Structure 1
Amino acid sequence: MRIAMASDHAGFGLKEELRRLLAAGGHDIVDFGTGDESACDLVDYAYPAALAVGRQEVDRAILVDGVGFGSAMIANRILGVDAVVCQDPFCATLARSHSDSNVLCLGAKVIGSGIAVAVVDAWMTSAFLAEEKYARRVEKGRAVAERHLRPLDEM
């Protein structure tokens, strides 16, 4: 799977750990930065990574910042992106199986490495349950986005 990754300075260390783990698992990683722990603006890295998801240049993205909320707020402003913040494997499983999320946002100040690895594993290995009720709910949410967000080809 082709996965975009990005972080700010607070999430850099965890992003690097997860990047190495996913690459070792055979995934193609597109790293949008940041490249170190120097103070930086999250949007400079999370936005291009999320845009790659919206343009279908990658299959999914994992964004890491201090708490995860900033990444999710940035990513969810792009049509075609369904970003979630997860802090445990149970929520990560449901975020994929019930909501078909394509961007996972993690907070390096909130969860440690061990939990983050378990969250990523759960999110990466859970499939969307395309049963009628879940498909209907996801489609309703996407219809809301289509009413309010511009298509990327209009940018």
Structure 2
Amino acid sequence: MKIVLASDHAGVALKKEVSALLTSMGHEVDDLGPFTSDSVDLSDYVYPAALKVAQNKDTRGIFIDGVGYGSAMIANRIYGIDAVVCQDPFCAKLARQHNDSNVLCLGGKIIGPAIALEIVRVWMTTDFLAQEKYIRRVEKVKQITAKHLKKLDELA
């Protein structure tokens, strides 16, 4: 699977470790930066990364900033993105099983590398539970998205 990575300066170090894990798991990694810890604006990296994920259904994203919430806020403004912030493996499992999330957001300032890598491993290896109640719930979220966001091909 292709995984798009992005971060801000607070997530660069953890992003390198996540990239190595994903590569070792056999995934193709597309790191959109940044590549140094010099201060940057998160949206300059997460926005284009979210667009890439939204344009390809077979792609997921992992975005890392200080606490993860900034990345999720930016990503969830894009049609086709279902970004979650996870701070433990249990939440990562449920974010895939129950919500079919396609973007994982992590906090490089609040999660150590060992737990972060386990979160990524669990999130990447957990499938959506395609049971009636979860399908119904995900579809309701998609209806809200369709009501309030424009599809990428509708944007001028």
Judge same fold: TM > 0.5, yes or no.
yes
Q: CA deviation at 1:91?
A: 0.2
Q: Is 2:18 the partner of 1:22?
A: no
CA contact (8 A) 1:2 1:30 kept: yes
> Does the residue aligned with 1:10 lie in a helix, a strand or coil?
helix
Structure 2 equivalent of residue 56 of structure 1: 56
Query: Partners in 2 of 1:75 and 1:25 — Cα distance?
Result: 25
CA contact (8 A) 1:42 1:70 kept: yes
Percent of counterpart pairs with the same letter? Answer: 59
- Residues 1:58 and 1:45: Cα distance change in structure 2 (over 3 Å): farther
CA contact (8 A) 1:2 1:28 kept: yes
Structure 2 equivalent of residue 94 of structure 1: 94
Q: CA deviation at 1:58?
A: 5.3
| CA RMSD in angstroms, aligned pairs only | 0.9
* Structure 2 runs not aligned, ≥5 long: none
Letter in 2 for 1:119: I
Structure 2 equivalent of residue 33 of structure 1: 33
Q: CA deviation at 1:128?
A: 0.1
Structure 2 equivalent of residue 110 of structure 1: 110
* Structure 1 runs not aligned, ≥5 long: none
CA contact (8 A) 1:4 1:58 kept: no
- Structure 1 residues 48-57 or 10-19, which shifts more? 48-57
Deviations 1:109-155 (A, max 9, x none): 11100000110011001000010000000000011001000110022
Structure 2 equivalent of residue 44 of structure 1: 44
Structure 2 equivalent of residue 65 of structure 1: 65
Q: CA deviation at 1:57?
A: 6.7
Structure 2 equivalent of residue 134 of structure 1: 134
Q: TM-score, normalised by structure 2?
A: 0.97
Letter in 1 for 2:112: G
Structure 2 equivalent of residue 152 of structure 1: 152
CA contact (8 A) 1:82 1:101 kept: yes
> Does the residue aligned with 2:10 lie in a helix, a strand or coil?
coil
> Does the residue aligned with 1:11 lie in a helix, a strand or coil?
helix
